């Protein structure tokens, strides 16, 4: 399973619970629009942002390590330099896949995830990819 489209199809075949790291409660931000789309598409989201209390009526969690349920996908809306720590946390909680949003690129973190048998998508919008595969 090496082509990106195969990886994306594989991820969408099992994903239900999505932790969104860096989700904003500001409707002007892309993370807000993407999260809104994911909710409408039937996914369960877990906002991960210590700077907000809630978004879409869902309480925001301070960090991935504070999530008390299994996570199928960690969707990252943070600058690329913050990704390695997020991937470390994703590995530690047993996340099944990692998605770095458009503009988020960190090859070292992606390799670390792959070394732990976690599929990775990088520099791609999850909402656009989901729409294209519908």
> What CATH number has the domain bearing residue 54?
3.40.50.720
pLDDT at 107: 98
pTM, rounded to two decimals: 0.96
Long-range CB contact pairs, 49-53, < 8 A, 24+ = 49/21, 49/22, 49/23, 49/24, 52/23, 52/24, 52/25
How many domains does the structure of the chain reveal? 1
Mean pLDDT, contiguous 10-residue spans, the chain (134 residues): 86 98 97 98 98 98 96 98 98 98 98 98 97 88
The reported pLDDT for the residue numbered 134 is 77
3-state secondary structure 58-91: EECECCHHHCCCCCCEEEECCCHHHHHHHHHHHH
pLDDT of residue 2: 64
- Is residue 122 within 8 A of residue 104, CB to CB? The reply is yes
**What is the residue range of 128's domain?**
4-133
Tokens of 12: 């969408």
């Amino acid at each position: 399973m090496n082509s990106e489209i195969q990886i994306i199809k594989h991820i969408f075949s099992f994903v239900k619970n999505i932790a969104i790291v860096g989700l904003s409660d500001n409707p002007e931000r892309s993370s807000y629009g993407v999260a809104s789309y994911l909710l409408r598409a039937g996914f369960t989201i877990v906002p991960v942002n210590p700077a907000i209390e809630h978004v879409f009526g869902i309480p925001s969690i301070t960090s991935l390590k504070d999530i008390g349920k299994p996570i199928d996908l960690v969707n990252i809306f943070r600058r690329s330099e913050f990704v390695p720590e997020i991937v470390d946390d994703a590995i530690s909680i047993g996340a099944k896949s990692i998605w770095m949003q458009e503009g988020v690129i960190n090859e070292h973190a992606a390799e670390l995830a792959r070394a732990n048998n976690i599929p990775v998508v990088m520099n791609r919008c999850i909402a656009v990819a989901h729409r294209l595969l519908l």
